[in-house]
Amino acid sequence: MTEHAAGTPFGKRLASAMAERGPLCVGIDPHPQLLTEWGLTVDVSGLEAFSERCVEAFGSVALVKPQVAFFEAFGSAGIAVLERTLEALRSSGTLVLADAKRGDIGSTMDAYARTWLAEGSELRSDAVTVSPYLGFGALAPALELAAQTQRGVFVLAATSNPEGAQVQRARVDDGRTVAQVMVDEAARRNAGADTLGSVGVVVGATLTDAPDLSALHGPILMPGVGAQGGTADDVRRLAGDALGWVVPNVSREVLRAGPSVAALRDAVARTVDGFAFLRA
């Protein structure tokens, strides 16, 4: 699978990767504590070594999600490591989701979109996470560029942090929660897509309930599985009829198996086996 499979939409490429490699997203989260636990220095050289081992270990994963903030924390040198990490992942044929959670308006949102989704950008990824809480319509530059370049967008809908409920569970005039509005808006963009749409949503696996996902026809990234307390049963419960579109995101649970590349690969294999029911 190449970076673009010559114009194939992201949703279709993701569906193919999940069928071939298993439905799993693994994060590259170079948290200072993890760098220390791996015996690495908490500096740019440690960041690079951590990322290189992850790239080597995660070549068989359907989707890999570098957490952009941990690279930005090291300034321009950290961004340079991120650029090299993204390039290595692209070269390996692994789909890449940049976890940047960008959200703004007008020309600023357009600049964010070009950073992560434009051809020729050193930070280009197969998809990017975005925040819709300046209004879903403010995401238009990212949605439009993603459609042009056959890339994807994952919209934060119902996150598992307690503070999120203040906004996401508020209700609009027609009685829907704000989170449900975000899912429904994403579903509109996926209408008519072949196989799977390219506008996904993020729904936390540790929630007590979730928006109705049945009409989304797009990927559902579910973080919070493993170390944060989410389980396979939670994924089943929250996804409902949309179970076949779920991409569980497991990061800390896998990364704690490092620093051995072989141990990381074993952790990935065990995790994929634990979600075999998603392939049924």
Catalytic residue numbers?
Answer: 101
Give the integer Cα–Cα distance in Å for 171 and 102: 24
Give the integer Cα–Cα distance in Å for 277 and 136: 33
Phi, psi dihedrals of residue 132, rounded to the nearest 5°:
-95, 15
Judged by phi (left if over 0) then psi (alpha if -120 to 50, else beta), residue 62 lies in: alpha
Q: Which of 248, 186, 250, 173 is nearest to 218 (CA)?
A: 186
Give the integer Cα–Cα distance in Å for 115 and 259: 31
β-pair partners for 202? 156, 221
Judged by phi (left if over 0) then psi (alpha if -120 to 50, else beta), residue 116 lies in: alpha
